[in-house]
Amino acid sequence: MENENSEQQPRKNSNKIYFLVAVILALLGTNAYLFFKEQKSSERIVTISDEKSRMQTEIDKIEAELDNSNSSNIKLSEQMQKEQDLARQKIADLRTALKKGQLTQGQLAKAQEDIKQLRYFVTKYTADIEELKQQNAALTTERNTLRTTVDSVSTKASNLEKVNEELSVKVKAAAALKTGNVSIIPLRVRNSGKESDVTRANTAKKLRVNFTVVNNAVAEKGMHDVYMRIIDPSGNLIVSDNGGMFTADDEELQYTYKTAVEFANDGKAYAIDWTNPGSFQKGTYTIVLYADGYTMGKGEISLK
């Protein structure tokens, strides 16, 4: 009996030892599981944090590229401006999302996909900007070429206009009537109307200006106005009541008498009579004739 009790006692102690060993092993396993689980979680947090930092750096680069593509003051189309605004809004949204404390794996994956799309857009957008720059450069070159051509044509036109004006002046001058011989005869007019040549100032009443016109094939045939200016011995212009203004030799002048002659380029002789409303003085009178805007000819007569 004593031997049986002695054998049962060691068995009970042995069972307790096994139980304690099992409990210790279970605790060790649990601790190991929790340790590795915590280690894995820590590594995942570290991995997510590193990914957030990498994505923030990528967003900074994308935004810098977007800013750089707009640094050349290129005027954007309405569509390109809209696309740029959307890109900047997407950048702002991503920055807001990355500033949050924790991101789930799904949120992180979505952010990565958004950045990938944003990168694609900015690359395409930058290429579009470069193409737009090239188009603008080509248009600028074309504009400058056209401007040079226009300036050249304008200069040629201006020169041609100047030449035409000079030719017009020359033609006008060439077409103006010019006198041949000019002779001036002082006349006395009797009460009967009979006229006679005189040489004395106190007996002269009128002057007869005789002249011929030089043959001129380019002069217009027909009536031509003739203006006469008479300068007295004192150097003063004699102005009659019907005297007015005219332009000749690029000057505005006042005339003493105006008439008209018919030109046919036939060598015809002309005579213009001018009656002095006053009295003649002793000395030399100068008579200047004008036609077609130029001096036609002149002559002098001295009265005693």
Show the tokens assigned to 84: 């740029």
pLDDT band, very low/low/confident/very high, at 90 (cuts 50, 70, 90):
confident
Sheet containing 294-303: order of strands: 257-263, 222-231, 283-291, 294-303
In 3-state terms, what secondary structure has residue 273? strand
85 with 28: CB under 8 angstroms?
no
Q: How far apart are CA 272 and CA 208, in angstroms?
A: 6
CATH code, 179-303: 2.60.40
- pLDDT tens for residues 157-213? 878 777 777 666 677 777 788 888 889 999 998 888 788 889 998 999 989 999 998
**Domain ranges across the chain:** 2-134, 179-303
Q: How many CB atoms lie within 10 A of CB 76?
A: 15
Percent of the chain with pLDDT over 70: 75
Sequence-distant contacts of 94-101: CB under 8 A, at least 24 apart: 94/55, 94/59, 94/118, 95/56, 95/59, 98/52, 98/55, 98/56, 98/59
- pLDDT tens for residues 121-168? 777 777 777 787 788 778 888 888 888 888 888 788 878 777 777 666
Q: How many CB atoms lie within 10 A of CB 285?
A: 22
Question: Which residue in 105, 89, 108 sits closest to 97, CA to CA?
Answer: 108
